[in-house]
Amino acid sequence: MKIIDTLRVLLGSAALGLAANAAWGAFEDPLQAPALANVAAARSPLVGVASAGDLLMAVGQRGVAVVSHDAGQNWTQAAVPVRTDLLAVHFPTPDKGWAVGQGGVVIHSADGGRSWTKQLDGQSASQRIIEYYAQAGAEGAEAIERERSLAELGGTQPFMGVYFEDERRGYVVGTFNRILRTEDGGRTWEPLGHRVDNPDELHFYGIAGGVAGLAIVGEQGMVWMYDAAEDRFVQRPTGYHGTLFGIVAGRQALIAYGMRGSVYRSADLGMSWERVAIDGHAGVAGGAELEDGRILLANLAGGLLLGDARAERFQAFRAASPMSYSGVAADARGVLSLVGAEGVRMQAVGTLQAAGDGDRATR
């Protein structure tokens, strides 16, 4: 099986990593050790960012997470119970949020991002999945076999994306068709792999929701749209064969983005997709909808792309101090929170300069 071959490679890599750690000293499980205090946390590598009201939350390597409650004027490091890389974060309200990352970790904050508790890791997620499918008898045997193979890696499979509709109902997605849903704020989780049209067990990289509904993106240019009537995620190919990193669920369009400057839009609830021409070929790693409906994308080469509300046309812009971007959030005032290799930076949309000339983006 494809998954077993992949697991053997990953298991070998994990063993080498443990050996290297042993050579340097006692191994400390990053899923059990809290993130270290870092006076320069807001300038350390960050991967994901979320906003809710005046709250801004950014997460990154080794469990570092920084929070601002004054629209990005001041940042403080949050108390995080894990030292593994955090890859995505979402706050449905200014008080309650969730973050996910390496090792299958899911952490939750109920105090506006100041402190966090662990709800899941790869091992506990596998245990819950196995228990769930054991109730299905013979029909759940294949899912149980897959999860037991994954468990042999010591819970190293990451969750790559997280989205909550409100304080109770939310989703986390990751590698090998792994998707879990909670209806009680993360106290219990239900596996949904059997409710996704994903026979090749492609990896999921991002999830978002909005007017068009709930959408997942992943490998081979694939988008999965949620069919509420069937309680199922239906496969909607974009025509692209590379990896999509994320999706913006805008009010007038869905915008999926990924490797090599690939941007695709759908104006019919994900039923069909068309490629959008943009400047450059750098991977697009982050996206956000502005208050006025326009779409802002950020790429790994430090470029910013500002598009109309229907995402039909994008113009290249540059920030005052560009870096390799991995995420972006926008507040109601038109101020961007850009995260990446050098931490978090704030910039108003109206101060962005068009690439190649002195024009500025309008408010």
At 330-341, the pLDDT tens digits run 999 999 999 999
Superfamily of structural domain 40-155: YVTN repeat-like/Quinoprotein amine dehydrogenase (2.130.10.10)
Output the CA angle 287-288-293, nearest 5 degrees. 135
Residues 6+ apart with CB under 8 A from 38: 44, 64, 77
The angle, 0 to 180 degrees and rounded to 10, between the axes of the packed helices 122-134 and 141-151 is: 160
Confidence class of residue 82 from pLDDT cuts 50, 70 and 90? Answer: very high
Beta bridge partner(s), residue 151: none
Can you tell me whether residue 359 is helix, strand or coil?
Answer: coil
Extents of the domains making up the chain: 40-155
Q: Which of 293, 298, 292 is nearest to 278 (CA)?
A: 298
The model's pLDDT over 274-332, given as tens digits with 9 standing for 90+, comes to 999 999 999 999 999 999 999 999 999 999 999 999 999 999 998 888 999 999 999 99
pTM of the predicted model as reported, rounded to 2 decimal places: 0.90
Q: Are 327 and 286 in contact (CB under 8 A)?
A: yes
Cα separation, 324 vs 64, in Å, equals: 18
261: amino acid identity, one letter: G
The model's pLDDT over 188-218, given as tens digits with 9 standing for 90+, comes to 999 999 999 999 999 999 999 999 999 999 9
Whether residue 343 is predicted with pLDDT greater than 80 in this model: the reply is yes
Cα separation, 177 vs 155, in Å, equals: 15
The model's pLDDT over 161-172, given as tens digits with 9 standing for 90+, comes to 999 999 999 999
Cα separation, 109 vs 342, in Å, equals: 25
Whether residue 233 is predicted with pLDDT greater than 70 in this model: the reply is yes
Confidence class of residue 361 from pLDDT cuts 50, 70 and 90? Answer: low
| Residue 8 pLDDT | 36
Instruction: Tell me how far CA of residue 106 lies from CA of 224, 233, 277, in angstroms.
Output: 22, 22, 36
Cα separation, 270 vs 12, in Å, equals: 39
